[in-house]
Amino acid sequence: MTTVLVVDDEPEIRTSLRGVLSDEGLRVLEAEDGRQALDLLRSERPELVLLDVWMPEIDGIELLRRLRDEPGRPEVIMISGHGNIETAVKATKLGAFDFIEKPFSIDALLQMVNRALEHRARAGEGAAGAEATRDVGIGAAGRAVVPRRSRHGERTIKRSVVASGHGLHSGVKSGVILHPLPPGRGILFASVSSATTVPAHLDYVDSTGYATTLHRNGMTVRTVEHLLATLHAYGVTNLLVKVQGEVPVMDGSARDFCQLLDHAGIEEQGGEVEDIVIERRLVVGSDDGKGESIAIEPDDQLRISYTLVYPEPVGRQEFTYVHEGAASFSADIAPARTFGFVKDLKAMAAMGLASGGRLDNCILIDDEKIVNTTLRFPDEFARHKILDIMGDLYLLGRPIRGRVDARMTGHADNVALLRAIRRELES
């Protein structure tokens, strides 16, 4: 029988959790403080620990730190009545499987417990993944309409990882925690302090003003495109992304997200992911090569060309990216940073946007020059637009195979193209 240790200094919490977990067929032990918990951990060897953060003498973070050296270390879910991104990041760095804030729903807790025990079982078996399900993809929707297979199967990450930063538009100190998920689960964004989730899918796009925002059941996640572009490039199909309202902008590029995935490692899970294969040309906007437009047409792989035309000091920039895997993305697209014009900042501020814009997380341009940095590429702005397209394209539920040609477009145009592709596939 699987053993769970509940560590909390509040008797009513321990009693409540004992009842819920016992009803699920689990053996439940209780400890009211860290010292008692250490004794039970060494004598009973539980598979899972539910650990409160705020306790006298040895608090939950300190106990988690001590657990790092314990043989046969259990999975740990941290519980707090004062959850915040800093505590969640610290706990994850110390090896916690996940983090939930009081008061929590029973369903949310049980989902987390099941994920933790599944993860421990897979790790114990040394398995690269469970048997693949037939309905794979990102989120809850999407279907392959052409039976041509991509070159990889389902993927997740090998271990949980975290990164801290600020939200570009909210200005709030933020962070992101990435957790592995089993095959067939898709990419899900979740709140740091609850089990509320929103799939990374076109169905849940809420707005596209200056960034791509997802929303479902009261949960909103902003600025998802750079992280999604990185998951697209690395072929990650199953992942839980815990955030606090907005994915941090980091340095304005996807470079830190590439490093995060490299540190986590990629786990092959078996099964096969089928690309959405474009069979005829589709266009959104002007098709005369002069106005704003984005088009996609058949190709044997993903290619994205972008043309950007602004007055000086930007001028005309063009770049074509041929996606050949994570290495090409990391070298050619991921380092390209978001950019903005000083004259637009006042208007964005009036809209409640760009509150987190800093000198180190975006390229600022005035009427004469770039004011705060040196470009990483002569065509960095065009490359960054391709980065945004890579992220938005991953919202259809599967990777897309085709050639994209875009001119002076943004997130709204990208999403309009995705909707045109879906209408075509459903016709």
Catalytically active residues are 411
Closest CA to 256 of 202, 319, 178, 181: 178
Burial 159-195 (b: 16+ CB within 10 A, else e): ebbbbbbbbbbbbeebbbbbbbbbbbbbbbbbbbbbb
Question: How far is 301 from 116, CA to CA, in rounded Å?
Answer: 37
Q: What are the CA-CA distances from residue 268 to residues 154, 328, 383 (Å)?
A: 6, 20, 29
Closest CA to 63 of 5, 124, 111: 5
DSSP for residue 271 = S
Determine the 3-state secondary structure of 254 from DSSP. Answer: coil
Both tokens of 191, joined, read 């709140």
Closest CA to 414 of 387, 383, 380, 381: 387
